[in-house]
Structure formats: C-alpha cells, structure tokens
Amino acid sequence: MIHYNKFTLANGLRVVVHEDHTTPMAVLNVLYDVGARDENPGQTGFAHLFEHLMFGGSVNIPEYDEPLQMAGGENNAYTTSDLTNYYIQLPAENIETAFWLESDRMLSLAFSEKSLDVQRKVVSEEFKEHYINKPYGDVWHKMRELAYNTHPYRWMTIGKELSHIENAQLEDVKAFFFKFYRPVNAILSVAGNVTVEQVKTLAEKWFGDIPSGEKYTRSLPVEPPQDASHKLEVKANVPLDALYKCYHMYPRSDKRYYAADLISDILGGGSSSRLHQVLVKEKKLFSNIDCYHFGSLDAGLLTIEGKLVKGVKMKDAEKAIQTELEKLQGEIIADRELQKVKNRVESLLAFEDMSLLNRANNLAFYELLGDAGLMNKEFENYEVVTAEDIHREAQLLFDEKNANTIYYYAENQG
Amino acid sequence: MNRTIPPPIKDAVEFDIKLKPYEKFTLDNGIPVYVIKSEEQDTLQLELIFPAGSWYESESLEAAATNFLMKNGTSKRTALEINEAIDYHGAYLNRNAYHENATFTLHCLTKHTEVLLPVLQDVILDPVFPEEELQLYKQNQKQKLAVNLQKCDFVANRFIDKYLFGEFHPYGRVSSMMAYDALQTETLHAFYQKHYTYNNCRIFVAGNMPANMLELLNKHFGSTRWNGETSHTRLDLPVQPAEEKKFRIFNDENGVQGAIRIARPFPNRYHPDFPKMLVLNTILGGYFGSRLMSNIREEKGYTYGIYSQLYNFRQVSAINIQTEAGRDVCEATIEEVYKELQRLQNEAVPQEELDLVRNYMIGSILGDLDGAFQLIQRWKNLILNDLDENYFYNNIQTIKSVTAEELQHLAKQYLTPGDFYELVVI
C-alpha cells in the first residue's frame, strides 16, 4: 500500500506526494501527457527529440545539469508512444533545487538553435545505434507499419525515418512546447523524505505562477479491428531466422487488458512458461522465445518473438507456436497455472514498489490513467481474472485474422 | 521571485554518510552469513557466493556453464520442476559467473522463503548436469553468440580486454563456438565439486527475513560439510598485454557506426591511487556532465553517449573509454578524447568543477545506500575483496578532499594518450 496525497494548483498542475521518511533521498517526477502518438505523421520522432531539447537550458537557467549535479542530484527522462517523463533523484535536503529547475523549464525553454542542431545529431546517432546498426534492429519499425494502418502507433518513438529528425525546425520546437508542455497537461509527483506541507509550499512557489495553457484534448484515429492477417517476409544480414507474431490487444484502461497481460505471462513469463518449456526445451525449435507487450495506453500488441534453431523450417516453427495458442484457446487453464501467473504479478509489484524512483514514476503514471490511487488497486484487477476469462480472451486475441507476422530470414547463411 | 538565483543547497562535504553495519552469523558448519535486515517491505534477497568464477577454470567457459546448469536438474528434480517451483511462488533465482565469483541469488516475497529454500538447497548441493541440458545449452549459447558477434560494441569489448590482459588471462579470455563445443558434463561436474563446497560458500541476506531464517539456513546449508573442503591460494596470473597499440577492425562492411575503445591498464583497488582515480575518472567520463560527454556528445553531437570506466577487477584494473560514434566521425572522436586527456594533464581542474563532481559523487553514494538490498551490495563488494568499512570511509574522504593538484599529477602519470590502446570496430 503506497500512501499519497494529492492536490491541484490553480493553473491545473496536478501534484501527488508520497512521504517516505526512511530514506535520505527525494524524487521529483514530471510527467507530460504527450508522446509519439501525438505527433504529426510528417514529423515523427519529434516528442523524443524534444525531450533531448529539454536539457538544453531554460529561460532563466542556462545549464540544466550543472546546478543539479552541484546539489548531488541525478536525472533522466524517457519518451514513449504515450507520454514523456522526467525525473530527478537527489538528497532530500536539496529538493528545492529540483523544483527550481523543473519549474523553469515548464515556464519556458531557452529555444537555442545550437542545442537543436547538436541534439538532431545526437538523436540520429541514437537512431543508428539502436535501430540500424544492430541485427534485427529494424523489426519494430516494420512490425508497427504492418500492424497499424491508422493509429499513430504505426511509427516508433525514435521516429519513422532519420530525415524527420534532421528536418526539425526551431519554430516547430516552440509550437510543440506551448501546445503540450503546459501545467494543465502535466503531473508532478514528489516522493521521499519530504512532507505534504513542504511540497505544497514549494509547488505553489515555483510552479504556481506558470500560465495554465490550454488543455490538450486528444482525438487520435482509432485502429479498426483487423479483418485479415498481415504477413511480411524480410531478408537481412543476420545470423539466424527469426519469427515475430503480434496480435492486437486492449487499451490499458480496459478490464480485459489484465487477462491479456496474464496470457502473455502464461506463454512467456519465466523459464516454466509454456513457450519456453515446449518450444525451446522439449521440441528444440527455438533457441529463445519471448512473449510480451508494452503496456500501451491505447490498444497495443501482444508479441511473440523467437529465434529459430539453425536448420528448423519457418513453417514448422510457426505451426508449433500455433499449436500452443490453440491449446490456450481450447482448454481451460488449470487453477495452479493461473495462480502461478497471479503470484508472479504480486511479486513483481512488490519488487517494483521497493524503489523510491518507481513509486514516484508510478504515482504520476496512474494519475495520468485517471487516479494515483489505482496504483494500490492494481493487484485486485489481476486477482479477479478467471480461467474462463483467459479462455475467452485467448480465443479472441489469437484469432488468425488478428495476427501480424514477420518472417525474418537470414540471407547468405549456411 | 528571481528565478535566475538558485535555491541554497547543502554541500556534499556536509553530508555525514554512514554505512549501516551488517549482522554476522555463522552456520553450524562455519558458513558465514551477512545480514542487513529491513522490515519496510515484504521482500527478501538471499545470495550464495562462491569463488568459482572464470579465474578458476582450466577450460574456457567451464565456470559459466557449471553455474548455469546447476539450476537445470538435480537428482530429485528436473529443470522444469525447479522452474515451476520458483515461478509458482513469484520468485526469481538468478545465477551469474563473473571473473572471480559465481553467485546464486534468490529474490522472493518473505512469506515464500520457507518453501523455496529446499529447492535452492537442491540446486546448490545436488546438481546432476543432465547431458541433454548441456547439449541444449551449447546450441542456444552458440546461437546467441552468433547474433552478438554481429554487434560492433560486443566485438569491441572482447578485443579491448584481450589487448589489455592477453587472451590466456581470465580477464582477456573470451567465449567461442569451439569452447562451447568442447564442454562436457564430466568436467562441469568436477568443477562443481571442487569449487562449490561448504567452506567456499558465503551467504548474504537482505530485506525482511522470516523469524526462523537462521534455523532454516542451518537446516538447508549448515548441517553438513557438503562437497568436502577446498583449499586454494589465489595467486596472480601473468598478463600478456598486446604490443601493438592501435587497431582498426571491420566487422560489418555496411556498419553505420564504429565502436571505439580507448583503454589502458591501471592498478587495482588496493593501490593508493585508486580512490583518487575514481574522482578523476568521473570528471573525465563518469557522469552526464563529464568532459567527454560535454565535448563529444553535447558540443559535437558525434555520439549518443560516451563514458569512461574503471574496471573493478581484483588483480589489475583498467581505464576504459567507450562509445559508439558515427562511422565518419570515429577518427574525429578519438582526436577529441586525446585532447580531453591532455587537457587534464596540462590544466588543473577548476575549483567549481571539482566541487560539482564531489557533490555529485556524494549524492550518488547517498542514493546507492538507500535500502537493504543496496546496502548489502556495498558490503558484499567490501567483504568479497577482503576490505572493511575503513576502505569505504577512506574513499568518501578522498572524494571530499582530493585537490586539483593531486588530480593533475595523477593525470600526468596515467592519462598520456600514447599509453592507451586504441580500437575501432565498424
């Protein structure tokens, strides 16, 4: 049970506070309700590039990192398809430094041409390092385009292509900032050795006078149900054949999300999971196989991916996966196996809550979902899932019409 | 309110960092148990550690394969039964073999400790190394290696350690298809019996323990002299550093980036220069605001990230600067790295920068000591290296008091560009 208090400033900034007096540290986390899904299709990768620019100095503070390091702090940020999150961890005595820094960059960035110029290059190198210069690095780029026709999940957070990043202009940066990076579109969470009163005073002092901004109302194109399976063959300079299958699942706030999440764990969670046990250990068709999803806020993809043992035919590997999926569609799962995946969730949540940083991140995340208090009810959502729910959702999820498959072949390999 | 004026801060030197002491117990057979208790959460971490890393192998990969396969079958349980038991209770049993030590780490909810310990006992005291499991391990590891060998960063890490220590030294030896092929159940079993003995075992516990924890540990690990006694004296092994200094390797003709490694040997953690070098390394490339990051990422945009690190190896350490940079800017990146080394040699670090790095390092240590799992990690590093809290406090003192002159002197001694190995893998 994570205790918290929350309040909203007059300008619309939502604030969540979690007191923990067993630690000497504090975390300040700012979540902005904007991600790659909110980008213009001709300017993909912008939300993430923007995240880099947030470190290039703000209107009153030329250097973001230096004063923070001087206060003994560390920081980082991440951008997903759904949101952008910034966090600082520092000795609790110096928490005001975090308020000062984060509020100034919410007030306004410095918008420096030099920073944009350098970060375009840095992000291009990040793109190369993770998506071009790695075997199988392009697969998510291809899979998103295969699986989505209309929803902006069809491009990756890093961007659809390098040119989109290279062409970003300072005017676009300014417009993006004043549209999305406003108090009314942000959630501040503070955790650690602080008090609610202290956070109230500091939040009011540093964030209180920032103009509210206009509430961003999201209206993204909805991906219609898929009515035929999609397949793509790829040949590339990789050492092993690989198989990727993705099935459209449910939005994060849909009750059925929890059944789908448990299904991914039945198939791919831990060494005793079905796909690992049957396909890697017994049938020896794959050298590794995983089942996962990204927990996206809009309807995401439940993914099965594996590398084939040399000499195994793609057709046979795919058929063996199919057999496992059909088992889940045909037979009701045993109580013990269902209990196993629920126990795994219980444990995972407990270990996640150990870190102060996770608690701060999660409180902001659940507040974005609608209420920070949902964080404490999460396990109940899993507990109520029945074997029949798993059976029913497996039938819907693994309908062949809902499948997107990439056959990734090694070219020039013996 | 004037937003250009930073709020007052408490300075690093004012933080009085205390390393919370551990409790030590001894099992009936003499196994030491180091404990950091915490009742704030319902979670437990239990680690068994043996000097059974690659240092002790006679054949490459023996240590890693033994450690991995111990979990894959005992005389009473199949690999699946072990995995089922662990997974059913939402636990994680991770195993790792490093250069010196091999570890088994159980993470679980406190309430499941008692039912999981018999499984852990089986894995540690009674593994049987089934032939089929070994064959599968070889096949799958070779496939994984084939994928990794296509990555420039992976290849660069292998080569640079080979240059620093020589391919026959445990620090420079690397995996290979041939080495996997050569593994045999008999040799793994022999390695297991020789190194996973009761008198080689140390136990580290952190978190919320059941009230009868020691009783349980005694029951499962403390009642017999399992696997007999090992006696060994650990002697340093000869290193054979490469004679050439500069290497360019083409691993992928279509590569769009090069993995750059610039490295030199450095004395180990027992040497008086080591704590000071931790500070100098941080200034050079050990944090986001470092010289290398500021220049090569934030000024030039040549890379997504560039870092320098100090190896934590026991016999001998090394300074290693690493980055992946655009293919066409690799040479320019190397030139800038050398400029930064020389700048540290030629100019004293400005007071403001040194203060910043002190504060950053102290803040970072304070954060690292937050929670029982983190604390035991600190203690483990000291205990496994035969050190105590004085070493820790001495490092803190060095961070707080080392002078710019001392750092410049250190840079002159250790950061001469010509002394470094230089590698680019494209």
Task: Report which secondary-structure segment, H or E, holds A66.
Answer: helix A65-70
Q: Do domains A5-208 and A230-410 have the same CATH topology?
A: yes
| Lookup: tokens for A15 | 């604030």
| Chain A neighbors of B304, CB-CB under 8 A | 122-123, 125-126, 129
A230-410 maps to CATH 3.30.830.10: yes
Do the strands A186-192 and A14-19 form a parallel or antiparallel pair, or are they unpaired? parallel
The answer to whether residues B216 and B250 belong to one domain is: no
Number of domains in chain B: 2
* Identity of the residue in A25, A122, A136 whose CB atom sits nearest the CB atom of B366: A25
- To the nearest whole angstrom, how far is the Cα of B150 from the nearest Cα of chain A? 7
Minimal Cα–Cα distance from A125 to chain B, Å? 6
Contact B267, B162 (CB under 8 A): no
Q: Tell me, yes or no, whether B132 lies in a domain.
A: yes
Q: Is the same domain home to B255 and B218?
A: no
Strands of the A403-410 sheet, one edge to the other: A230-236, A403-410, A242-248, A301-308, A286-292
Radius of gyration (C-alpha) of chain A in whole angstroms: 23
Q: Is residue B371 situated within a structural domain?
A: yes
Spatial separation of the C-alpha atoms in residues A276 and A283, rounded to whole Å: 10
What residues in B contact A355, CB-CB < 8 Å? 371
B80–A277 CB contact, under 8 Å: yes
In degrees and rounded to multiples of 5, residue B204 shows phi and psi of -120, 125
Q: How far, rounded to the nearest angstrom, does the alpha carbon of residue B416 sit from its chain's CA centroid?
A: 26
Query: Is the pLDDT confidence value at A128 over 80?
Result: yes
Over residues A381-395, the pLDDT tens digits come to 999 999 999 999 999
Interchain CB contact of B350 with A (< 8 Å) = no
Same domain? For B73 and B214 the reply is yes
C-alpha to C-alpha distance for A236 and A363, rounded to whole angstroms: 42
Is A30 strand, coil or helix? strand
Element of type H or E holding A177: helix A170-180
Amino acid at the residue B62: E
Helix axes A335-352, A256-268, angle to 10 degrees: 100
The pLDDT value recorded for residue A413 is 56
d(CA B242, CA B232): 30
The pLDDT value recorded for residue A414 is: 45
In a domain, B230, yes or no: no
Return left, alpha or beta for B92; rule: phi > 0 is left, psi -120 to 50 is alpha, else beta.
Answer: beta
**From CA B53, how far away is CA A262, in angstroms rounded?**
37
Which residues does chain A have within 8 Å of residue B68's beta carbon, measured at their own beta carbons? none
Asked if residue B328 belongs to a domain, the reply is yes
Cβ distance of B366 and A238 shorter than 8 Å = no
**Positive or negative torsion for Cα B384, B387, B392, B395:** negative
Is B268 in the same domain as B208? no
Under the banding of pLDDT at 50, 70 and 90, the label for residue A324 is very high
- Choose among B80, B107, B366: nearest Cβ to A72: B366
B347-351: list long-range contacts, CB under 8 Å, 24+ apart.
Answer: B347/B408, B348/B404, B348/B405, B348/B407, B348/B408, B349/B283, B349/B404, B349/B407, B349/B408, B350/B404, B351/B404
B87–A270 CB contact, under 8 Å? yes
Residues on chain B touching A237 (C-beta within 8 angstroms): 150, 252, 254
Q: Would residue B47 count as lying in a domain? A: yes
Positions of A marked active-site: 51
Contact between A112 and A105 (Cβ < 8 Å): no
Name the residue range of residue B413's domain.
246-425
How far is A369 from A187, CA to CA, in rounded Å?
Answer: 11
Give the pLDDT confidence score for residue B13 in this predicted structure: 75
| CATH number of the domain that residue B312 is part of | 3.30.830.10
Looking at the structure, tell me whether residues B190 and B62 fall in a common domain: yes
Q: Do residues B182 and B298 share a domain?
A: no
Q: What angle do CA A92, A93, A96 make, to 5 degrees?
A: 90
In terms of domains, do B149 and B262 share one?
no
Q: Number of Cβ pairs closer than 8 Å across A and B? A: 206
Name which of A20, A99, A162, A272 to mutate to probe chain B: the one with the most chain B Cβ atoms within 10 A of its Cβ: A272
Domain boundary among B187, B222, B257: B222
Q: Which chain B residues are closer than 8 Å to A209 by Cβ? A: 1
Output the pLDDT for position B16: 87
Q: What is the CATH number of domain A5-208?
A: 3.30.830.10
Query: With a CB-CB cutoff of 8 Å, which residues 128-187 of chain B face chain A?
Result: 136, 139-140, 143-144, 146-147, 149-152
How many other CB atoms are found less than 10 A from the CB of residue A163?
11
Q: Are residues B263 and B217 in the same domain?
A: no
Task: Quote the DSSP letter at residue A1.
Answer: -
Q: How far apart are the C-alpha atoms of B237 and B126, rounded to whole Å?
A: 32
Map out the domains of chain A as residue ranges.
Answer: 5-208, 230-410
One domain, residues B270 and B311: yes
Judged by CB atoms closer than 8 Å, whether chains meet at B289 and A351 is answered as no
B333 and B184 share one domain: no
Q: What is the pLDDT along chain B (426 residues), one digit of tens a residue?
A: 899 999 999 997 788 899 999 999 999 999 999 999 998 899 999 999 999 999 999 899 999 999 999 999 999 999 999 999 999 999 999 999 999 999 999 999 999 999 999 999 999 999 999 999 999 999 999 999 999 999 999 999 999 999 999 999 999 999 999 999 999 999 999 999 999 999 999 999 999 999 999 999 999 999 999 999 988 778 889 999 999 999 999 999 889 999 999 999 999 999 999 999 999 999 999 999 999 999 999 999 999 999 999 999 999 999 999 999 999 999 999 999 999 999 999 999 999 999 999 999 999 999 999 899 999 999 999 999 999 999 999 999 999 999 999 999 999 999 999 999 999 999
B78 part of a folded domain: yes
ipTM over 0.85: yes
Q: What is the pTM of this model?
A: 0.95
What's the half-sphere exposure (Cβ side, CA atoms, 13 Å) at B351? 0
Task: Give the separation between CA A144 and CA A232, rounded to whole angstroms.
Answer: 12
Same domain, B382 and B337: yes
pLDDT at B12: 76
Beta-carbon neighbour count of residue A265 at 10 Å? Answer: 21
* Chain B residue numbers touching A121 (CB-CB < 8 A): 300-302
Look at residues A287, A109, A276, A91 and name the one whose alpha carbon lies nearest to residue A182.
A109
CB contact under 8 A, A72 and B364: yes
Helix (H) or strand (E) holding B292: helix B291-292
Q: Residue A129 carries which DSSP code?
A: I
B window 41-100, beta carbon within 8 A of A: 41-43, 79-80, 83-84, 86-91
User: Do residue B111 and residue B186 come from a single domain?
Assistant: yes
Measure B2 CA to nearest chain A CA, in Å. 9
Q: A150 to chain B, minimum CA–CA distance in Å?
A: 31
Residue B7 lies in a domain: no
